[in-house]
A and B are shown apart, each in its own frame.
Chain A
Amino acid sequence: MGTVALSETKTMLTLPGDAVRQILWRFADRFDLQMLVQSARGVARGTVARLVAAGERNTHEWTQGKSEMMEAFDQAGVTAAFMEPEEGGFISGPKNLALSLAAFELAWVDGGAATASLAGFLALAPIHERGTAEQSRHYKQLSAPPQLGEDRKPWRGAFALTEPIPYVGVDTGMLSGKMRVAEWKDDEEPWLQVDKRGRFITNIAFANFVTAAVNSDDPRIKGSCVVILEETDEGIYDHGTPTKKLVHQLSSTGDPIFNLKVPASRIVGGYTVKDGVIVPNYNHGEIIEAVFRRTRVPVGVMTAAKLLSAVEPVIRYQRGRFRGAEGARPGTVRYEQGIQQREDALHRLVDVWATGEAATSLGFAAARLFDKLDPVEKRKTAILKESGIQGGRNEMKALKESEQKAMELLAMKPNDPRRVELEADPLVEYVLMDAEANVICPATKLWNTGHGTNMMREAVSLMGGYGITEDCPGFLANKWMDAQLEATYEGPEAVQRRQLTITMTTEVFLAEFRGWMAEMRRIASTGPGTGACTLASAMQLWLWTLNHLQKSVDPDGGKLYHGQRQGVTFALADALCWILASRCQILDVLELEAQGVNDPVASEGLKGTVQFLSDLCHTQAAAAAGEVSRICAELVFGYNQHPAWTDEGHQGCFLASELDELEETMPGISAFAMDVISADGSHPQKAGPCAGCAGSSEFLRLQNKLTMCLSGSRLAKDRAAETVSKVMIPEALDYPA
C-alpha cells in the first residue's frame, strides 16, 4: 500500500480541537454552550471575517455591512445568549462563561465584532444586575431577537458612563451628568430631566436605549443613579459624531448628547421617597461595580483568544516561508520546515502560545467563578435581608464573622468535625468566592489585555513584514492594535491595579493564596513537569515580599505599601497576575489529563497533548517566576538608600590599614573584602559600598531557591518547540484574510 504506517507517539497530533478545549475550559457537559460556541464561530469566521477582509474596518461610519453583522448575531443566537429561556434565550442560569465563550469566538476573528456584541449586554447589565423585576423583563424582552416567524426589530442598547474630559473616565466618581425633578404632581410618579453627555460610547449609532450614570442636581433627589433613556423620550437624543478610532472599527463608538424628560420609574433598581426626596435604591457606583466585575472578564478573554488565534497562521507562514524558491524542493528541510528550522522562531511562538493558554485559562476560570458566585451572592443578599441587613457597608460589617469562619475553614485539617458545618454555611461560601472573584476579575482584565497586547506584538513580528499588512492571515496587526483598546475600556490598567491593591491583601484572599501555594507543591509532587513547583516558589517569594513591604518604610519613614504608593502596590499587583494566570493554566491541564481519557475524541493522542500543554505550563511558570523575582527584588531593595562614600555610608567598610592588621591573624582576608577605603580616602569605582537590607538574607534565600526551581524549564521549552515544528495544521485558515 502506498501509505505510511503511523508510529506510536507522544507528540501532540494536531492543534487542540474542540474536544480538548471543552475539557480544559470545563464545558464538556454543557451542550448549550457547545452550540453557542459553534454559532458564534459560524458568524465570526463567516460574516465577520468577510467584512474585515472586504475592508469594512476602514470607515468610522456605521455601515449597512456592520448593521448586517448585528443581525447575524441575532440570527445565530449570540444576542440571545444573555437572556433566560423565558426571555427569548436558550441558556438557563448564570451566563458569564457563555458570554466569555461567545466573546472568545468572535475575538478570534475580530475584536470589534466581539465588542459590538458585548456592548448590548453591557447596556442591559445594569438592569440585569440591579434593575427591578419589571425593568429587567421589559428591556430584555425588547432586546431579545425575534423568534422564528416573529417580525420585530430588537432594541439595542448602549451604556453611557464615560463623559467628555474633565469628567468621568477611569474613575467612576466626578460625574457631570445631571438629573433634576422636572415635574412632580401629588400622588403621581415624578418626572426627571436628565442631562448627560457621553464620550466613546459603544453601540451609540443605533442604540434605542441607553443606561446612563448621572448625579443629582436637585435637593429633591439623593445621590446618583443609573437611569434608562429611550430614543423616543421627550427632548434631545443625539447619537453624536462617530469616534475616529483606530481600533475595533466594526463596533460603533460616538459622543452622544442627551437632554430628556423621563419618568422616575426609569431609575435602575427603583427608588423610594423619603421626606419628599427621591432616594434611588442603588447609586451609580454600586451598580457599576456589580456590572464591571462581570463584564470585564470577557474583555480579558478576547485578548487571550487573539493570542491563540495567531498560532495557526504563524505556523503556516513559518513552514511555507521558502517554498517556491529554487533549491527548496519538496522533501528538503528548507521546503518542509521553512523558518521553523530556526530555534528562536519556534521559541518565540511557544511564548505567544503559552501566554495565550495561560490568559484563556485565567479568563475562563474567572467566568466560571462568577457563574458559581451568582446564585451564592443572591442567597447571601436574601439571608442578610431577612436579618434586616441591606446595603454595601452594612453587609460588609455583618460578614466579618463569616470571614473569620472562612479563614478557620481554610486552615482546618481535612478530618476536623467542624468542617461539614462550615462548608455548608452559605455566608462562608460567599465570603470565600467573593474574595477570590475580587482578585481574579481585575487580574484577568489587567494581565490578559496588558501583557496580552505586548505578546500580540510578538506574534505580529513572527510574520515579518506580512504581519503589518492588511493581507496578513488572521488579521494579526488589527488584533495587536485592538488589544490596546481592550486594555483601556471598561477601566484601563490603572483601575485594575488599584482594585487589586486592596483586594489582594484581604485576609481571606491571602489565606486562600496560601492554600493554593500548598496545592501547587502537591501537584508538583505527584506529577512534576508543569512548573507547579516553580510557581509555588514564586508564590512564596511574592507573599514574603508583600508581608515585608506592608511593614516597611522608605528612608523618609513613608509607608511602602500604601494606596498612594502605586510604584509599590501596582508592581506587586502585576506580579500576582502572572502567578494567577500560571496557576489556572496548570489546573486546566490537570483536568484534561484526568478527564481526557473518558472522551473518545480527546483521548486520541492524549498523552502527547498533555505533554505539550504541560511544557507550555512549565515555560509560562518560568516566565512568571522571572517576573515575580525581578519585581519583588526591585521593591525589596529599591526603596533602600544606597550607601554612599560618606562617613555614615562607609561605616561598614574596612579601612586599608585595618585590613593590613587583620591579615596578620587571618591571612587571605583582603581577598574577600570588597569595599575598602584607602588611606588617602579613595574607594573602588562604584556608587557606594555594597548595600545590605534588613531581612535580605531570607529574601535572597527564597529568591535563590526560586532561581534553582527554574531547572528543566528550558528543556520543556525545547520540547514544546519541537512539537510546534511537527504538529499537523489544517491546509488553510478557515476564514478569509
Chain B
Amino acid sequence: MPNALHIVVCAGIVPDPLQTLEPVTTAAGPGLKNEMVLPAVLDPWASSALYEAASLTTKNPGSRVWLVSLGPKAKLQAVMMTIAQKVAFELVPIDGPIGGFPEAHSTAAVLAETIAALPGLDRSHLLLFGGWESATRGAGVTLQLVGEILGIADQFQGVDQIDLREDGSFEVLERVEGGKHQVSVCAGTPAVLGWATGGLAEPRNNPQIGMANMRTIMPALQKAKVAKLEANGLSYVSVSLPKQQRTTRVVKDLSPDEIARELVEWIGAE
C-alpha cells in the first residue's frame, strides 16, 4: 500500500454564519453575544479539508483520517450530530474555548502536542489538513504553526485540489492572485495543506455512517482532555464585525455585461 495515508484534519467549530454575531466583553476577554447557545458548525474551510481527506482515503485503502478539534466539548458533540454523518473519521476532541479570540500560538501548540501523541499515527505518511483560514477571526496562521512545531516543511495554502501519484508524490493546486492556481509538485508526505473550498460538494448526511462513527466519537468526547490556552501577552483593543454595505437597487432585464460593468465600476469606486 504505497499510498496508505495518515491524514489529520484540524478543524474547529464556529458559530453558524447566519446567526447574529455581536462582539461583547466577557470575563475571559472578547467573545460573541450568547456564543454558547448559538448553533455552531464545523469551520467551513476546514470542512472542505475533511471531505477531501475522506475522499482520498476511500481511493487509498488502508488510510486513516483523524479529526482533531479544539472547542467546548458539548458544542463539539452537537456539531458531530451532523458532521459524523457525512464521512468516516476518528474524532480527537480537545475541550477548550470556542471562537476566534484565543492566541494562535497557544492553540497550535495544543494541537501539535495532541497530534504528536496520536496512537498509531505514522508521521512519515502524514498529511496535515485544515482550513487556510477559520471563519472566526481568521488568524490565518494556526495550521502553519502546527506544521512548524511538527517539523513539516512542505506547506501549501489556499488549496483547491490534490492529485496523488503512484510513486507517492502529489500535485497541489493553490490559490494565487487573479483567480488563478499555482501548481506545485511535492515529492511526498509529510506535508501541510490548508484548504480553500476544494472541489467536492458537501456530502449529504447519512445516519448510517453517523451511527458507525458514534461508536468511537462518544467515548472520545467523554475522555477529551482539557486545554488551557495561554494568552501569551495577547490583548484586544477593540473588536468589531466587518462593516456590511448594502445598496440595493431593483432592476429587471439588465444584461450580464451591463451588470458586470456596473459591479466593476462599483468595486473600483471603493
Chain A residues near B (Cβ < 8 Å): 1-6, 13-14, 17-19, 31-32, 34-39, 42-43, 72, 75-77, 80-81, 90-91, 147-148, 599-601, 604-605, 728-734
| A13 CA / B36 CA spacing, docked (Å) | 10
Which B residues between 18 and 51 are near A, CB-CB below 8 angstroms? 18-26, 30, 33-34, 36-39
| A42 CA / B74 CA spacing, docked (Å) | 21
A18 in contact with B211 given A35-B84, A39-B205 (CB within 8 Å): no
A3 in contact with B208 given A18-B78, A19-B78, A38-B82 (CB within 8 Å): no
Determine the chain B residues whose CB is within 8 A of the CB of A732 once the complex forms: 18
| A14 CA / B84 CA spacing, docked (Å) | 26
B39 touches A17 (CB 8 A): yes
| A43 CA / B206 CA spacing, docked (Å) | 11
B81 touches A38 (CB 8 A): yes
Select from chain B the residue with minimum beta-carbon distance to A85: B211
Besides A35-B85, A81-B207, 12 more A-B contacts (Cβ < 8 Å) are: A1-B237, A14-B37, A34-B78, A35-B207, A38-B205, A39-B206, A43-B204, A148-B209, A601-B75, A728-B20, A728-B34, A729-B20
Determine the chain B residues whose CB is within 8 A of the CB of A32 once the complex forms: 207, 211
B205 touches A76 (CB 8 A): yes
Determine the chain A residues whose CB is within 8 A of the CB of B210 once the complex forms: 31, 35, 90
Which B residues between 34 and 75 are near A, CB-CB below 8 angstroms? 34, 36-39, 72-75
Determine the chain A residues whose CB is within 8 A of the CB of B211 once the complex forms: 31-32, 35, 90
Q: Which of B30, B38, B75 contacts A14 (CB 8 A)?
A: B38
Distance in angstroms from B252 CB to nearest chain A CB is 15
A601 touches B74 (CB 8 A): yes
Determine the chain B residues whose CB is within 8 A of the CB of A601 once the complex forms: 36-37, 74-75, 78
- Check: B240 CB closer than 8 A to any chain A CB: yes
B214 touches A2 (CB 8 A): no
A31 touches B81 (CB 8 A): yes
Which of B18, B22, B211, B214 is the most central at the interface, judged by chain A CB atoms within 10 Å of its CB? B211
Q: Which of B33, B74, B81, B236 contacts A728 (CB 8 A)?
A: B33
B37 touches A3 (CB 8 A): no
Determine the chain B residues whose CB is within 8 A of the CB of A39 once the complex forms: 85, 205-207
Determine the chain B residues whose CB is within 8 A of the CB of A34 once the complex forms: 78, 81
A2 touches B81 (CB 8 A): no
Q: Which of B18, B34, B81 contacts A605 (CB 8 A)?
A: B34
| A272 CA / B78 CA spacing, docked (Å) | 52
A17 touches B37 (CB 8 A): yes
B239 touches A1 (CB 8 A): yes
Determine the chain A residues whose CB is within 8 A of the CB of B37 once the complex forms: 13-14, 17, 19, 601, 604-605
- Check: B16 CB closer than 8 A to any chain A CB: yes
Select from chain A the residue with minimum beta-carbon distance to B207: A77
Determine the chain A residues whose CB is within 8 A of the CB of B84 once the complex forms: 35
Determine the chain A residues whose CB is within 8 A of the CB of B85 once the complex forms: 35, 38-39, 77
B34 touches A13 (CB 8 A): yes
- Check: B218 CB closer than 8 A to any chain A CB: yes
Distance in angstroms from B76 CB to nearest chain A CB is 11
B19 touches A730 (CB 8 A): yes
- Check: B238 CB closer than 8 A to any chain A CB: yes
Distance in angstroms from B141 CB to nearest chain A CB is 23
